[in-house]
Amino acid sequence: MSSSEYHEQLWQSVPPGAIPPGAELRRAFLLDRLRVAAEPSERRSSDAPLRVLDVGCGEGQLTAAIADAGFEVVGVDVAEEPLRRARELHAGIDVRLVPLDGEWPLPDAGFDAVWAGETIEHVTDTAGWLSELRRVLRSGGSLLLSTPAHERLALLGFALFGERFDRHFDPRADHVRFYTRRTLARLLADFGFEQIELRAVGGLPGARRTLLASAVRARF
């Protein structure tokens, strides 16, 4: 089975319209940070609408929310099935298929902000993916992303309860990377991002479910 067939098959198993846990928290974070990014500043002097790329857009729920908030948005995914659903659910939405590996058919520095919600944990070639993401984001542009959190109490729980560990780290699952605040911050810094901010939300203190990250593409 090819990688593209694998991702298509994954989406065939997802019920149409399914809302993942924590979706509202991510939506609130995203729209708040986009409004801040759209404000005039030394990094942004244009009055034109903010240009946003939604990476791993799926069925386009957040892509549509970005558009409804008044921003120009393009959604991309590596599988055609979620894009088909997105076009059916949200008339006029701009969603596009991109290759799993290699260059995306998008211009250099074509976007003011990039959102990647619950996507980076699915990526095998993290270096290639981040390099491509950085290429399409303008200098001084905003990177916003979310990924499952792996805080200390959660990791202790995995260590103490074998069944929980096996379920979370099932080798057949589609999550292939696992991030803490420290590892995600180091990764973003290594790929030319600065002003990195991370916070964990959902769940209990010390065992939060989601990491929310914002960063700025360095000017070089």
Could you report the per-residue pLDDT of 82-91, keeping only the tens digit for each? 999 999 999 9
Quote the CA–CA distance of 215 and 168 in Å, as a whole number.
Answer: 28
What pLDDT score does 11 carry? 87
Q: Kindly provide the b/e burial profile for residues 155-188, where b requires at least 16 CB atoms within 10 angstroms of the residue's own CB.
A: beebeeeeeeeeebeeeeeeeeeebbbeebbebb
- The neighbour count for residue 4, using CB atoms within 10 Å, is 14
Percent share of the chain, pLDDT over 90? 66
Q: Kindly compute the dihedral angle of the four CA atoms of residues 128, 131, 133, 134, in this order, to the nearest 10 degrees.
A: 180
Looking at the whole model, is its pTM more than 0.85?
A: yes
- What are the structural domain ranges in the chain? 23-31+48-217
Mean pLDDT computed over 148-155 = 77
Per-residue pLDDT at 43: 65
How are beta strands 193-204 and 137-148 bridged, if at all? unpaired
What is the CATH superfamily name and number for domain 23-31+48-217? Vaccinia Virus protein VP39 (3.40.50.150)
